[in-house]
Amino acid sequence: MKVRNILGERFKERAYDIESQNLMTRGGYMKQVGNGIYSLFTPAKRIQNKIERILREEMDRIDGQEVLFPVVMPATLWQSSGRFESIGRELLRFKDRSGADMVLGMTHEEAAVQLANNVAGTYQKYPFMIYQIQTKFRDEPRARGGLIRVREFTMKDAYSFHTSQEDLEAYYERAYRAYERIYARCGLPEVIAVKSDSGMMGGKVSHEFMLLTSIGEDSVVFCPECGFRANMEACEAIIENEADGELLPLTEVFTGEAKTIDEVGEMLKMPNEKSCKAVVYQKNEDDSYVLVFIRGDLEINETKLTNFLKSEIHPAADIENANLAAGNIGPVRLETKATVLFDRSLVSATNLVCGANKAEYHLTGFTPSRDLPADTVYADFAKAVEGGVCPSCKKHSLNIKRGIEVGNIFQLGKRYTEAMGMTYDTESGERKNPIMGCYGIGVGRLMASVCEEHHDDYGPIWPITIAPWQVQICALRIDDESVKAAAEKLYSELKNAGVEVLFDDRPVSAGVMFSDADLLGAPLRVVISPKTLSRGCFEFSARDKSFREDIEAASACETVANKVNELIAQVNSKVPESI
Amino acid sequence: MKVRNILGERFKERAYDIESQNLMTRGGYMKQVGNGIYSLFTPAKRIQNKIERILREEMDRIDGQEVLFPVVMPATLWQSSGRFESIGRELLRFKDRSGADMVLGMTHEEAAVQLANNVAGTYQKYPFMIYQIQTKFRDEPRARGGLIRVREFTMKDAYSFHTSQEDLEAYYERAYRAYERIYARCGLPEVIAVKSDSGMMGGKVSHEFMLLTSIGEDSVVFCPECGFRANMEACEAIIENEADGELLPLTEVFTGEAKTIDEVGEMLKMPNEKSCKAVVYQKNEDDSYVLVFIRGDLEINETKLTNFLKSEIHPAADIENANLAAGNIGPVRLETKATVLFDRSLVSATNLVCGANKAEYHLTGFTPSRDLPADTVYADFAKAVEGGVCPSCKKHSLNIKRGIEVGNIFQLGKRYTEAMGMTYDTESGERKNPIMGCYGIGVGRLMASVCEEHHDDYGPIWPITIAPWQVQICALRIDDESVKAAAEKLYSELKNAGVEVLFDDRPVSAGVMFSDADLLGAPLRVVISPKTLSRGCFEFSARDKSFREDIEAASACETVANKVNELIAQVNSKVPESI
């Protein structure tokens, strides 16, 4: 293809803070149509097609069968699993012309069970896995970062069905490995798997595949000592308290206008970890209050709180109706209708400051083990902290980094097959619900993540396996007959050799041509100009600046094609064996 | 792949009247999820992928650039063309979580202009064509026939942009040819192009590609004499009247309860063509009445009427409020607020019966040229009739057949670029709106149409170029070691030779195995059984029964692979050259 023919314009001005969004906008890869909704120009669509091909190959390799589920589904299907009611407004609901309730698919567990139901009624048909690559819509309240977090996206989603937990686990391992292969083949061997929270999907064991980057929306907790890794949302927090020698008596102190932990701590000259703070939420379903007490220096992990409550929550809008003394809430002599919970960080804490449930007063000398009822339940609601205790090796070794989630896999169990009444007959004639796993990768987010990881200030540096074009020919001074002839010859030779080549034969300056080539991101480049021809050669270089050399014109096609194969082999050398 | 592993069940019982729906349901190709909404099992998805590949190759061949538009679009985009208001309820409208109006894409002219706008501002960038293969949703009131008429479907849609009508027309020819190539490559060289009505798309010249079949929803008009072809909707009707020698005077006659043309004709002993009937419609926009007079034996072509009125219409629900004498409406002494129109069939008619605008009375001797005002306008609202006059060669030669529309191409003109303010600078510095063409093919409908055309009572007979598998091996008596060994060897050899092979190694009867193979529709079949092995060979046959022969086991792979290539060449021999 010729650069002059690609629809889309490239420009220099910085467009956005997030680099993939900035470079892919400046490079003419995409255009916004609405909030979180994009059209893709040809360079991005070519990358997407290549990623989709890798996805198909890897899904087929683990015995997947490609199917297609609908984007628009009747609400009855989602009612059969209970998710029509339980999922929030990110599930887009509407009525069709006949007044029937419909939804836009944001995930397809229900559709997968509907398809497999009644056609897998005996144990001999198991295990099997079906997958699709299809458009999804999720009505995100906070679309951001270009293709990183959108409302409409193309996704590969896969669903496996098993007759035993062991069989699911064995298949889960194969899928896990397939995912490692997919990222490596896309030029992202850096992606790591972390334990994750299963959220609205149901099921227990799940992993997220994360690309660590400062623009990531997720926090990933690591232990460099033992290799433990988890999404912050799913990470157990182990909090230690230093025991004070002497337990002080509970004492009411006047704190006036001091309300926050910081204000009270400063007034009383006590560090935050020697306080007990109250955090107030409301349940989404009925706005009832939930009051969590936690050590003053820690933060609430809302995912763990949600899972504990089995109910979605939001920070309390106001607590006027809660009969609570805002800024002075404490666990002693507390009278409230709220659900009251205690974080484990308080179990061994002593001599804390807490609210006195009375305007302008706090208590000092609060020691939960002494001052709360003996049957008080403490649970894990705290966020893990940098330098905290590793839940696996128990060392004070935790690191926290930001990451983008580029895929996830879940052991779903029987959540959907039970709810939707899908069964099979076992060998002994029993009727059982199959056990499911599900496996998702967003194609556009993966593309943007590759750009995040592989770019410089001038543009993306696409890995050869997903680059829109493998090689770009820049013909400087196309008005020079010898340049034109040499460039057109190489263009045609490379096309015949099966190399994906982009040809820039526009009568533009070297500056414009090179900056456009940088934005288009082909990993290899051949420059042909009067100057190179005067040396009897072409200039051959890598987009990542790893080499730049003169090559002979006569053998240029072969040299370039060999380098393409070398780069492909280089990517593939990082791809683990499949299982 | 092995038959035992394909998700989906095959069964014998007739499921539906329309043969593609019946066979594709019985063959485990698809499952209904909702009204007009289907999931596809792997055999159908494989066919779809092959059709999509052919579509991509042919679009690329005519210099198309693949892009991707969103399924969900903001209403503002459709407001910018005026179609948010003008299209009926088949355009599905809803609100997102922020309350913004959104639509589900049923076509993407607006999205194409939005993408190309501002990046094609000078004449040098033209012409260009962008296309996508994407899910669409059209809220059809009458989904039917399985994949023939659905609400959600995968479509290839393409949009070309030009700086002159000549350039559009030249490109339109290339697209027309590309379409002929696509159908031929999919094994449907029978598809013909007919002139069509441009409907809601705007623009003047357009063609539909039709597969003639009795289950088609469209009527196609042909002239075997001169080759004229048109969709009934777009076909001019030329109606002739035999002149009577003597013009009779207008005479009021008592017709009592006789209301319909048939009843009045019978009472007065006059054939229907000697009457003038009134047909009453209402405009969708304001329910105002439209009254059309037409010769009594003819029917109204509502598409032509809609185009004339530039307004959607529906048959009048009731005419109570229209101040019209139901059953006795006539054009003479008519007092009404309705829009009154006259079909051309009346121009030269004489001595007709018509309503007298008075209960229980009709008029005889109505001669429009004498009895209507001299400035009466007659227009073409009639449906063409079998044996009618060809608009092209003027012979009484018209034939009418049923057809399925499997694609369409439109010369759109500036309808969208003007409305949406897309411009470019000409060489002389003028600012102009580009001229567009658009080109659509529904993938699922094409697949079902191939099945309609290529099947027998036992299942589809897929053309080799789109068949889910090229060859099926049926191993009868897999418990026989020599059968097992021979079949597995051939399976593995064919896979290595790049042949797409399906292997049935289930321990089932020959009857079950063959009827499943018939439903899966692989064009070639190899049967391996103790009986064939006793003859020292395999049985090789075509699904379409064109041959059945014994082949040597040792060279079976080569024989089969050669036959695959022969069948592919056979399909390709019917593909016209591209232009």
Contact criterion met (CB < 8 Å) for A72 and B46:
no
pLDDT tens digits, residue range A344-365? 999 999 999 999 999 999 999 9
Residue B285: pLDDT band (50, 70, 90) is: confident
User: Residue B48: which residues within 8 A CB-CB, separation 6 or more?
Assistant: A68, B40, B154, B443, B444, B447
Query: Is B7 in contact with A116 (Cβ distance < 8 A)?
Result: yes
According to the model, what pLDDT value does residue A202 have?
A: 57
| Residues in B touching A443 (Cβ below 8 Å) | none
- pLDDT class for B318, splitting at 50, 70, 90? confident
Sign of the C-alpha dihedral computed for residues A215, A217, A223 and A229 taken in this order: negative
What fold is seen in the domain A14-71+106-219+400-453?
BirA Bifunctional Protein; domain 2 (3.30.930)
* pLDDT confidence band for A245 (50 / 70 / 90): confident
Residue B229 has pLDDT above 60, yes or no: yes
Reported as a single tens digit per residue, the pLDDT across B110-123 is 999 999 999 999 99
What's the per-residue H, E or C state across B294-359?
A: EECCCCECHHHHHHHHCCCEEECCCCHHHCCCCCCCCCCCCCCCCEEEEEHHHCCCCCEEEECCCC
Gap from A515 CA to chain B (nearest CA, Å): 18
* Mean pLDDT within B457-484: 97
Name beta bridge partners: A39: A31
Partner A, chain B 4-23, Cβ-Cβ below 8 Å? 4-9
3-state class (DSSP) for residue A512: helix
On chain A, the residues whose CB falls within 8 A of the CB of B77 are 33-34
Q: Is A81 touching B (CB cutoff 8 A)?
A: no
How far away is chain A from the Cα of B41, in angstroms, using its nearest Cα?
5
The CA distances from residue A61 to A58, A124, A160, A184, A493, in Å, are: 5, 21, 14, 15, 34
DSSP codes of every residue in B139-154: --SS-BTTTTB-SEEE
> How far is CA B97 from each of CA A90, A310, B105, rounded to the nearest angstrom?
8, 24, 18
In 3D, which of A57, A94, A63 has the Cα closest to residue B75?
A94
Q: What percent of chain A is predicted at pLDDT more than 90? A: 88
Per-residue pLDDT tens digits for A291-305 = 999 999 999 999 999
Q: Which pLDDT value is given to residue B259?
A: 86
**Distance of CA B84 to CAs A36, B77, B135, Å?**
21, 8, 19
pLDDT, residue A198, reads 67
pLDDT band at B201 (very low <50, low <70, confident <90, very high): low
Could you give the 3-state DSSP secondary structure of residue B73?
strand
The answer to whether the CB atoms of B71 and A135 lie below 8 A apart is: yes
Chain A CB contacts of B73 below 8 Å? 33-34, 37
pLDDT at A541 (0 to 100): 98
Evaluated on CA atoms B160, B165, B169, B174, the torsion sign reads negative
Looking at the DSSP bridge assignments, the partners of residue B254 are: B361
Q: Which CATH superfamily is domain A251-371 in?
A: YbaK/aminoacyl-tRNA synthetase-associated domain (3.90.960.10)
Nearest Cα of chain B lies from the Cα of A29 at a distance, in angstroms, of: 10
Angle, CA of A132, A134 and A135, to the nearest 5°: 160
Calculate helix-pair angle for A165-185, A42-61, nearest 10 degrees: 140
Looking at domain B42-219+400-453, its CATH architecture is 2-Layer Sandwich (3.30)
What pLDDT is stored for residue A284 in this prediction? 86
Residue A552 confidence (pLDDT) above 80: yes
Taking Cα atoms as reference points, which of A64, A29, A58 lies closest to residue A46? Answer: A29
Interface test with A, best of B9, B29, B31 (most A CBs within 10 A): B31
Candidate from B37, B97, B128 with C-beta closest to A5: B128
Closest to A384 measured CA to CA, from A300, A277, A310: A300
The whole-angstrom separation of Cα B400 and Cα B288 is: 33
CATH superfamily of B251-374: YbaK/aminoacyl-tRNA synthetase-associated domain (3.90.960.10)
Choose among A119, A114, A205, A168: nearest CA to A416.
Answer: A114
A99 contacts chain B (CB < 8 A):
no
The pLDDT score that the predictor gives to residue B86 is 85
Contact (CB<8Å) A7/B45: no
Chain A residues whose beta carbon lies within 8 Å of the beta carbon of residue B106: none
Q: Taking the CA of residue B47 as centre, how many other CA atoms within 13 Å lie in the half-sphere pointing to its CB?
A: 29
Query: Taking 60 as the threshold, does the pLDDT of residue B534 lie above it?
Result: yes
| pLDDT beyond 70 at B156 | yes
Asked if A567 contacts A462 with a C-beta cutoff of 8 angstroms, the reply is no
The pLDDT of residue A200 is above 70: no
What average pLDDT score do residues A326-351 get? Answer: 93
pLDDT digit string (tens) for B239-270? Answer: 999 878 899 999 999 999 888 889 999 999 99
Structure tokens of A352? 């804390």
Q: Are strands B378-379 and B339-343 parallel, antiparallel or unpaired?
A: parallel
Instruction: Check CB contact under 8 Å for B68 and A77.
Output: no
Compare CB distances from A72 to B37, B41, B124 and report the shortest one's residue: B37
From its phi and psi, is residue B69 left (phi > 0), alpha (psi between -120 and 50) or beta? beta
Chain B touched by A60 (CB under 8 Å): no
Report cis status (omega within 30 of 0) of the bond before A127. yes
* Amino acid type, B500: E
With a cut of 70, say whether residue B202 has pLDDT above it.
Answer: no
Please state, for a pLDDT cut of 70, what percent of chain A lies above it: 99
Find which of B67, B103, B110, B133 to mutate to test the A interface (most A CBs within 10 Å of its CB): B67
How far is B308 from B533, CA to CA, in rounded Å?
A: 71
By Cβ distance, the residue of A45, A71, A77 closest to B71 is: A71
Q: Give yes or no for A431 touching B (CB within 8 A).
A: no
**What is the band of A201 on the pLDDT scale with cuts at 50, 70, 90?**
low
Output the six-digit token pair for B141: 């009131």
Backbone phi and psi for residue A253, each to the nearest 5 degrees, phi listed first: -125, 145
Tell me what ipTM this predicted complex has: 0.91
- What pTM, to 2 d.p., does this model score? 0.91
Residue B26 has pLDDT above 60, yes or no: yes
Contact call for B7 and A98, based on CB within 8 A: no
Question: Which pLDDT score is estimated for A325?
Answer: 84
Smallest CA–CA separation between B94 and chain A, in Å?
6
**Rounded (10°) CA dihedral B137, B141, B144, B148:** -40
Strands B64-66 and B128-137, by their bridges, are parallel
Q: What is the mean pLDDT of residues A272-281?
A: 94
Residue B422: what pLDDT? 98
- In this complex, do B65 and A120 lie within 8 Å of one another by their Cβ atoms? no
Range in B94-103, B313-322, B378-387, B461-470 the model is least confident about: B313-322
- Between positions 129 and 148 of A, the ones with CB within 8 A of B are 130, 132, 134-135, 137, 139, 141
Write the CB contacts of A287 (distance below 8 Å, at least 6 apart in sequence). Answer: none
The helix/strand/coil state of B19 is: helix
Helices (H), A186-282: 261-268
pLDDT in tens, A451-503: 999 999 999 999 999 999 999 999 999 999 999 999 999 999 999 999 999 99
> What would be the CATH architecture of the domain defined by A469-572?
3-Layer(aba) Sandwich (3.40)
Proportion of chain A in helix, strand, coil states, percent, rounded to 5:
30, 30, 40
**Mean pLDDT lowest among A167-181, A241-255, A310-324, A356-370:** A310-324
Domain with CATH 3.90.960.10 in chain A: 251-371
Find the closest chain B residue to A506 by CA distance.
B124
* Contact criterion met (CB < 8 Å) for A65 and B6: yes
Instruction: Say if strands A64-66 and A72-74 run parallel, antiparallel, or are unpaired.
Output: unpaired
Interchain contact, B34 vs A102, CB within 8 Å = yes
Q: Do A7 and B130 touch (CB under 8 A)?
A: yes
* Interface residue A313 vs chain B (CB under 8 A): no
Distance (Å) from the alpha carbon of B115 to chain A's nearest alpha carbon: 7
Sequence ranges of chain A with CATH classification 3.30.930.10: 14-71+106-219+400-453
pLDDT (average), residues A551-572: 97
Helix (H, G, I), strand (E, B) or coil at B382: strand
Q: For all residues of chain A together, what is the average pLDDT?
A: 94
Residue B198 pLDDT more than 70?
no
Residue B67 to residue A92, Cβ atoms within 8 A: no
Mean pLDDT of B334-354: 94
Residues of chain B with CATH 3.30.930.10: 42-219+400-453
pLDDT in tens, B543-569: 999 999 999 999 999 999 999 999 999
Q: Answer whether residue B323 shows pLDDT above 90.
A: no
**Banded model confidence at residue A421, pLDDT cuts 50, 70, 90:** very high
- Residue B203 predicted with pLDDT over 80: no
Alpha carbon separation from B436 to B155, B430, B525 (Å, rounded): 19, 18, 47
β-partners of residue B354 are B363
Confidence of residue B540 (pLDDT cuts 50, 70, 90): very high
Question: Which regions of chain B carry the CATH code 3.40.50.800?
Answer: 469-572
> For residue B200, what pLDDT band results from cuts at 50, 70 and 90?
low
Inform me whether the pLDDT recorded for A434 exceeds 90.
yes
Minimal Cα–Cα distance from A4 to chain B, Å? 7
